[in-house]
Amino acid sequence: MRRVLEWMFFTYFLINIPIVIIMDSQIVFPSWLYPQSLRRLHSWYGNGIKDNMYLDPPPWYQAIFFCEQFLHTPLSFAAAYAFYKGNCRWIRMPAIIYSAHTITAVIAILYHIAMHDFSQSKYPGPSTMMERLTLSWAYLPFFVVPLLLLTVMVQDEDYGLHVEAEGAYKQSPRRSQRLKNA
């Protein structure tokens, strides 16, 4: 089961990398950095799902995506590698930090979607309950997968300490124990 979860996390981070670099970075960086085709894709997504925060981001939303560009992007590459390789102890704490930050950010976004009056917005936002639910569904994977990742990493304090040896799992000594023995 652990390997199935690692492959799921690998896929999540692998898919997340181009989304963050191609789409989400347009929230943080000036538009002249992007070719017209990527700007149109960004606009098409924002208008299609009525995500006016994506098209005209408030400062708090930009701050979230600023963190995503400079913290989550490098971590996504590292996490994709770690979960592809499997059983990498060093990813546990960064995964916990990433998950906690992402869950918190998505809660703020979902609350804004549910409670904000979009009628005065520059771009059309969700006006019906179904449009709000559709927009919420677009953000939901970025809540559910990090929640699962957080749960797995917090529950398994020995994550990455198991090495397969002749079909059985053998626990490696903790680093503090290895240092004492050295």
Contacts for 169 with CB less than 8 Å, ≥ 6 apart: 162, 163
CA 62 to chain centre: 15
Q: Closest by alpha carbon to 42, among 32, 53, 54?
A: 54
Instruction: Give the model's pLDDT for residue 156.
Output: 84
Instruction: Give the model's pLDDT for residue 25.
Output: 95
Determine the Cα–Cα distance for residues 57 and 12; give it in Å rounded to an integer: 25
Helix 141-155 / helix 92-115 crossing angle, nearest 10 deg? 150
Determine the Cα–Cα distance for residues 172 and 87; give it in Å rounded to an integer: 12
Strands 162-165 and 168-171: antiparallel
Greatest Cα pair distance in the chain: 67
- The predicted model scores a pTM of 0.83
Determine the Cα–Cα distance for residues 121 and 10; give it in Å rounded to an integer: 37
For residue range 50-79, list pLDDT tens digits in order.
999 999 999 999 999 999 999 999 999 999
Under 8 Å between Cβ of 92 and 162: no
Q: 52: exposed, middle or buried (C-beta count within 10 Å: 0-12, 13-18, 19+)? A: buried
The structure tokens listed for 47 are 């208008």
CA dihedral 16, 84, 71, 92 (to 10 degrees): 130
- What string of pLDDT tens digits covers the 182 residues of the chain? 889 999 999 999 999 999 999 999 999 999 999 999 999 999 999 999 999 999 999 999 999 999 999 999 999 999 999 999 998 999 999 999 999 999 999 999 999 999 999 988 888 899 999 999 999 999 999 999 999 999 999 998 777 665 444 444 455 555 556 566 66
